[in-house]
Amino acid sequence: MNLGLLIAAMALGQGAIFGVQTWLLANGRFELLSWFGTHYSFAIFGIILTDGGTSTILARDLARLSSSQDSSDEFWRSFCAIVVFRLSVVVLLGLAAVVYIVSVAADGFSRSYLLCILPGLLFWAGNPTGLLDGLRLSGIGGMTGSLAYVASAVALALVPNASPEMAGLILGAAFSGGYFLAVLTQWTILSRLGWAPRIKKATAAGLIPAFKNGAAMSFQLVPGQIGWRVQLALSAVYLGPETTAVLTYVKQIVNAVTMVIMTVVRVDFPGLVQKVSRTAEPTFRTIAEAQKTTLFCAVAFTIGAILVSSLSFIVPQSRFAAAAHALLMFSPTILTTAFSAMMAQGMIALGTFAAVARITAIGAAAGIAASCLLVGPLGLYAILAGELVSHSLGFALMHIDISRFSRLRGSRLERVAM
């Protein structure tokens, strides 16, 4: 049920944006497509930073929660501390946006859009997605979250003939309105299920781990997101607006597919936590067995993307031929992204948040360096090379870390048994 709802949510939300982007591409509206793709990418980056992976922490806490009242109170204290962490991130993002608008932004679209998305980040600071995931209601979280995507898609369809300032205003307001509606709907559903929000005073004892674990989870997510933004900038500077529009369009497809896989990861996560908790020495095999559905989906979607993109050879003169060729190039990243995510979830289930952040940063830095060095001679293939380097290195380092952690835990259990 959860998996079906999450896939439906991706089809509704990402599908709506993809459909409008396809219409813009078919009509040659490359400038608007490039504007929206770049700015929306940074807006979603703000959403990711605001949550900072703390929803995964909440889902893990809830999956390990006992049924006692004391445990419930402890969970709500943890939730309130995490909201404080999220709000501090929103304040920093707001200050950065204001500085950018005042000193850097030269076009009306950027100024209008950035100002109007800030309320959306504030609303998202109170999202209960982790609570829904921990209650094994991730499908509901996905369906409600898709409302934000639909709002942006509807707005994008309305602005092709608007001035840059008005287009930015409409799209930014739709972004914030969509996230307000998503959070409101999530809390309404949870309240009817007996999980109305309870405010508990945040203490130093709760805030310290919330900021520590939240920062660690953020740094797990941030490097990869920065890498994609660097790739966008490299494409805009070296490859031109048309190639950047095609890249944005194709990455929308790849991201939609990988988001479906990530939803499967979310469904598998509570079971993964329980499996590694019961295993004395977790290995890659342990992690893979707990995420068989994720692995199957990754292989199936990769093959599907290759088959669909091969249609470009049948109609080589089509307006979509360049996009199909690019999709064929980037299809392998669906599989490498899934493998990296599976390993990362295994480490998170073990509670090694800082190690995941460190490894992800190393992999992202290597990928960015590869893209920067190769963009001149290889063009678009440099973007692909950067992603493959990042994913492969991250997977290898996480595999080594999990093996080391398992040996240490096994040794501790042996000493206790003696």
> pLDDT (tens digit, 9 = 90+) per residue, 120-161?
999 999 999 888 887 878 778 888 888 899 999 999 989 888
Question: Of 202, 235, 251, which marks where a domain is finished?
Answer: 202
Of the candidate ranges 42-51, 85-94, 97-106, 395-404, the one whose mean pLDDT is the lowest: 97-106
At residue 397, does pLDDT exceed 80? yes
How far is it, in rounded angstroms, from Cα 85 to Cα 249? Answer: 33
Cβ contact 148:178 at 8 Å: yes
Residue 1 pLDDT > 70: no
**Is 314 domain-assigned?**
yes
pLDDT at residue 186 in the model: 93
What is the average per-residue pLDDT within 260-286? Answer: 76
Decide if pLDDT at 170 tops 70.
Answer: yes
Size (the chain), residues: 418
Q: Which residue has the higher pLDDT, 20 or 118?
A: 118
Instruction: Tell me the pLDDT tens digit for each residue of 32-46.
Output: 877 787 788 889 889
Looking at residue 67, what is its pLDDT? 44
59 and 144 together in one domain:
yes
Claim to verify: residue 334 and residue 393 sit in the same structural domain: yes
Q: What is the pLDDT of residue 2?
A: 64
Q: Are 368 and 414 found together in one domain?
A: yes
Quick check: is 11 in a domain? yes
Confidence of residue 68 (pLDDT cuts 50, 70, 90): very low
Higher-scoring residue by pLDDT: 410, 274: 274
Confidence (pLDDT) at 317: 55
Distance from C-alpha of 253 to C-alpha of 271, rounded to nearest angstrom: 29
Indicate if 178 and 223 belong to the same structural domain.
no
Weakest-pLDDT range from 1-15, 240-254, 393-407: 1-15
Lowest mean pLDDT among 6-15, 175-184, 225-234, 409-418: 409-418
The verdict on 297 and 377 lying in the same domain is yes
282 within a domain of the structure (yes/no): yes
Residues 233 and 165 in one domain: no
Binned at pLDDT 50, 70 and 90, residue 326 comes out as confident
Domain boundary among 202, 230, 253: 202
Asked if 366 and 390 count as a contact pair (C-beta separation under 8 A), the reply is: yes
Helices (H) and strands (E) counted in the chain, each on its own, are: 16, 0
> Do residue 56 and residue 98 come from a single domain?
yes
Does pLDDT of 199 surpass 70? yes
Does the pLDDT at position 112 exceed 60?
yes
pLDDT level of residue 163 (50, 70, 90 thresholds): confident
CB 330 within 8 A of CB 381: no
Q: Please give the pLDDT value at position 315.
A: 60
- If asked whether residues 229 and 194 sit together in one domain, one would say no
Same structural domain, 275 and 352:
yes
The answer to whether residues 4 and 99 belong to one domain is yes
Report yes or no on 212 lying in a domain: no
DSSP code of 103? H
Mean pLDDT of 181-198: 91
For range 205-212, the mean pLDDT: 81
- The answer on 103 and 6 residing in a single domain is yes
| Inside any domain, residue 207 | no
Residue 110 has pLDDT above 50, yes or no: yes
Q: Is the pLDDT of residue 376 over 50?
A: yes
By the 8 A CB rule, do 319 and 26 touch? yes
> How many domains would you assign to the chain?
2
Pick from 103-117, 132-146, 212-226, 391-405: least confident: 212-226
Determine contact, residues 322/246, Cβ cutoff 8 Å. Answer: yes
Q: To the nearest whole number, what is the mean pLDDT of the chain?
A: 82
Average pLDDT over residues 301-328: 77
Domain stops at, among 177, 202, 227: 202
Contacts of 166 (CB under 8 A, 6+ apart): 112, 159
For residues 285-303, give the mean pLDDT. 86
364 and 237 housed in the same domain: yes
Instruction: Read off the pLDDT band of 388 (50, 70, 90).
Output: very high
Domain that holds residue 242: 219-418
Which residues are CB-neighbours of 305 under 8 A, at least 6 positions away? 253, 254, 257, 327, 328, 331, 334
